[in-house]
Amino acid sequence: MVPALRAGDILSGPQGPRALRKMRVRGNQQQEVKSSMLCLGIESTAHTFGAGIADSDGRILSNTRDTFVPKQGKGIVPREAADHHADVCSRVIGDALRQSGVTLSDIDLIAFAQGPGLPPCLRVGAVAARTLALKLNRPLVGVNHAVGHIEIGKLATGAQDPVILYVSGGNTQVLALAGGRYRVFGETLDIPVGNALDQFAREAGLGNPGGRCVEEAARSGKYVELPYVVKGMDLSFAGIVTAALQKLKEGTAVEDLCYSLQETCFAMLVEVTERALAHTDKKEVLLVGGVAANKRFSEMIGIMAKERGAKTFVVPQEYAGDNGVNIAWGGILEHRAGRMLEIEKSATDSRWRADEVEVRW
């Protein structure tokens, strides 16, 4: 039985098995139309194993994940995170299918995060994706993890042509589309900003995720001086963490250090972003990646952007950290541009940069 549809509807989600997704209503007449494509995206670049299902009209059907939590006081050991991913992989993918109400055979395309990331972790997602592509006889697409973060940000916020701040546990870059690629205008010279917050939180015994704990503690803090390190358009965070930890040892209150860490690191990012905006003459700023969840950060970027007549967009929280939907949507875009992988050429690349990807969609 075909459920009642409104004109223009394409069924998807729990009510939409594959056959029904092919029916579109025009007036009172149901017609066969080209079905919307479904992509299963697999994310496994670092701490998170995620699966997401998106369709080619930009609808998100499911988003499931399981994040490896290191032992108290320890950072991510790549091998341990990879073992975690292998343990949870089938369950997370199964949950994504159940959440979206589709079966494996409904999936038209398999995408995976091909890089950058931690090699043992990347390989778990790649093996899962290759296995599914072979079993289902579906095309396989490798998605650049950073490009996935950017594109979901654009899809979810409606930003058209922004300067992008990609700020996460594994990356810190200021990018903008120019000449068919996301060019890197500035980036960290050492550790990413999320990693800096995580390192400080870990040493100070604040808990996980570090960035969120620092944000909470910072609310009652006041400013103490920390090094401010911008070199041209690039940034350095490692020395700031060392200085903050030194001050912690000397007795400075942890809340004051959290507040000052945020103010210093975020002001550095605001400075570089402002220069990128001035240089490109773009009128939008988009924040993506786990650190985009920080309210003080989006406030600081927002103030700067407003003063320049630019609009600020922040990726919604559920797509800020690593997740499979980023990869599913990235997979749809890459597939649309005709970039598919042969299994033999689907090796992961732990150092694959966003600016190596041709943006052909």
Angstrom distances, CA of residue 105 to CA of 3, 52, 108, 138: 22, 15, 8, 10
Residue 273 contact, options ligand AMP, Mg ion, none, Cβ 5-8 Å cut-off depending on partner type: none
Is the CB of 234 or the CB of 322 nearer to Mg ion?
322
Helix then strand then coil, in percent of the chain rounded to 5, is 45, 20, 35
Q: DSSP code of 341?
A: B
| Number of other residues whose CB lies within 10 A of the CB of residue 205 | 10
> Which 319-338 residues touch Mg ion, going by CB under 5 A?
322
Shortest approach of ligand AMP to residue 269 CB, angstroms? 12
Enter the DSSP assignment of 104: G
Verify binding: residue 322, ligand AMP, rule CB under 6 A. yes
| Using rule CB under 6 A, residue 241 touches ligand AMP | no
Which residue of 115, 116, 162, 210 would you call a contact of ligand AMP, by CB under 6 A?
A: 210
Minimum CB separation from ligand AMP for residue 29, in Å? 46
The site map against ligand AMP for 33-62 (x = CB under 6 A) is: ---------------x--------------
Strands (E), 47-108: 48-55, 60-67
Residue 294 binding: pick among Mg ion, ligand AMP, none (C-beta 5-8 Å cut-off by kind): ligand AMP
Interaction partner, residue 215 (Mg ion, ligand AMP, none; CB < 5-8 Å by kind): ligand AMP
**Residue ranges of E strands in 38-154:** 38-43, 48-55, 60-67, 109-115, 140-144
| 293 near ligand AMP, rule: CB under 6 A | yes
Q: In angstroms, how far apart are the furthest CA atoms of the chain?
A: 76
CA distances in angstroms from 179 to 161, 164, 183, 212, 332, listed in the order given: 13, 15, 8, 36, 22
Q: How far apart are CA 264 and CA 272, in angstroms?
A: 13
By beta-carbon proximity to Mg ion, the closer residue of 12 and 64 is 64
**Nearer of residues 81 and 291 to ligand AMP, judged by Cβ:** 291
Instruction: CB nearer to ligand AMP: give 106 or 198.
Output: 198
Residue placing its CB nearer to Mg ion in the complex, 12 or 195: 195
CB of 2 to ligand AMP, least distance (A): 41
Helix (H, G, I), strand (E, B) or coil at 42: strand
The set of residues, in sequence order, having a beta carbon less than 8 Å from that of 269 and lying 6+ positions away, is 165, 167, 172, 174, 193, 235, 297, 301
Binding mask 162-191 for Mg ion (x = CB under 5 A): ------x-----------------------
Q: Does 321 bind ligand AMP (CB under 6 A)?
A: yes
Q: Is 117 left (phi over 0), alpha (psi -120 to 50) or beta?
A: left
48 makes contact with Mg ion (CB under 5 A): no
Q: What type of residue is 16?
A: G
For ligand AMP, the binding residues (CB under 6 A) are 48, 168-170, 194-195, 197-198, 209-212, 215, 289-291, 293-294, 321-322
For Mg ion, the binding residues (CB under 5 A) are 168, 322
